[in-house]
């Protein structure tokens, strides 16, 4: 037998009322309850199985945070070593270099579907006044490609990273 509590007394005082169900009614109620649970849980199970089949995020396919940090370090090193692009990195204090690196890592992490939150300023604000030209842009993209090649990033993922970065061009390049 099953016991249920229910009911309320006037003036919001609680009163417990015990109802004893007959064994035949209990079987019918259990059958109904089972059917209701099946219909409620099937869509949830289907949704869960579909989400489990989804492809991993770009962030995951690139190797996660540590991989993006390594890519960022190499990329910044290439920019600093460039005769042309070094002017954007030379003269930064050690603290500013660390901040630049962290912003780059957080931006890449966020842009690739990772758990990071980019707290830096928008790209237009950050790059306004630097006089970045089309040639500078091309050289920096080439440096990024070389970095991705160094870490043996597959073509599909490399294309996705470059597509994400290419959308920033209008905010970064000031001079044709």
Instruction: Specify the higher pLDDT residue, 119 or 16.
Output: 119
DSSP classification of residue 16: E
Residue 15 φ/ψ, nearest 5 degrees: -130, 135
- Name the residue among 88, 98, 97 with its Cα closest to residue 137: 88
> Residue 67 and residue 73: Cα distance in Å, rounded?
10
pLDDT at 23 over 70: no
Q: Provide the CA 122 distance to its chain's centre, in angstroms.
A: 18
pLDDT at 10 over 60: no
Residue 20: what pLDDT?
Answer: 53
pLDDT in tens, 72-114: 999 999 999 999 999 999 889 999 999 999 999 999 999 999 9
Give the architecture (CATH level 2) of 58-172: Orthogonal Bundle (1.10)
Q: What share of the chain is helix, strand, coil (3-state, %, to 5)?
A: 65, 10, 25
- Is residue 75 within 8 Å of residue 104, measured between CB atoms? yes
Instruction: Specify the higher pLDDT residue, 78 or 4.
Output: 78
Residue 132: what pLDDT?
Answer: 96
In this prediction, residue 27 has a pLDDT band, given cuts at 50, 70 and 90, of low
Residue 74: what pLDDT?
Answer: 98
- Is residue 61 within 8 Å of residue 157, measured between CB atoms? yes
pLDDT at 139 over 80: yes
3-state secondary structure of 8: strand
Count of helix runs (H) and strand runs (E) in the chain: 8, 2
**What percent of the chain shows pLDDT beyond 90?**
66
Q: Report the chain's C-alpha Rg in angstroms.
A: 29
- In the chain, residues under CATH classification 1.10.490.10 are 58-172
3-state secondary structure of 98: helix
pTM above 0.75, yes or no: no
119 CB neighbour count, 10 Å cutoff:
10
In this prediction, residue 175 has a pLDDT band, given cuts at 50, 70 and 90, of confident
> Residue 141 and residue 107: Cα distance in Å, rounded?
16
pLDDT in tens, 146-169: 999 999 999 999 999 999 999 999
């Amino acid at each position: 037998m099953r016991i249920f509590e229910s009911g309320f007394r006037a003036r919001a005082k609680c009163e417990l009322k015990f109802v004893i169900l007959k064994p035949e009614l209990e079987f019918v109620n259990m059958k109904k309850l089972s059917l209701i649970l099946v219909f409620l849980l099937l869509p949830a199970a289907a949704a869960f199985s579909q989400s489990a089949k989804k492809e991993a995020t770009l962030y995951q396919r690139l190797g996660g945070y540590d991989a993006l940090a390594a890519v960022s370090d190499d990329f910044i090193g290439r920019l600093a070593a460039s005769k042309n692009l070094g002017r954007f990195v030379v003269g930064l204090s050690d603290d500013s270099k660390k901040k630049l690196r962290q912003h780059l890592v957080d931006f890449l992490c966020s842009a690739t579907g990772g758990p990071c939150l980019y707290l830096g300023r928008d790209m237009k604000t950050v790059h306004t006044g630097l006089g970045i030209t089309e040639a500078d842009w091309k050289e920096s993209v080439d440096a990024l490609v070389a970095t991705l090649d160094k870490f043996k990033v597959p073509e599909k993922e490399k294309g996705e990273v470059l597509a994400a970065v290419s959308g920033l061009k209008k905010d970064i390049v000031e001079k044709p």
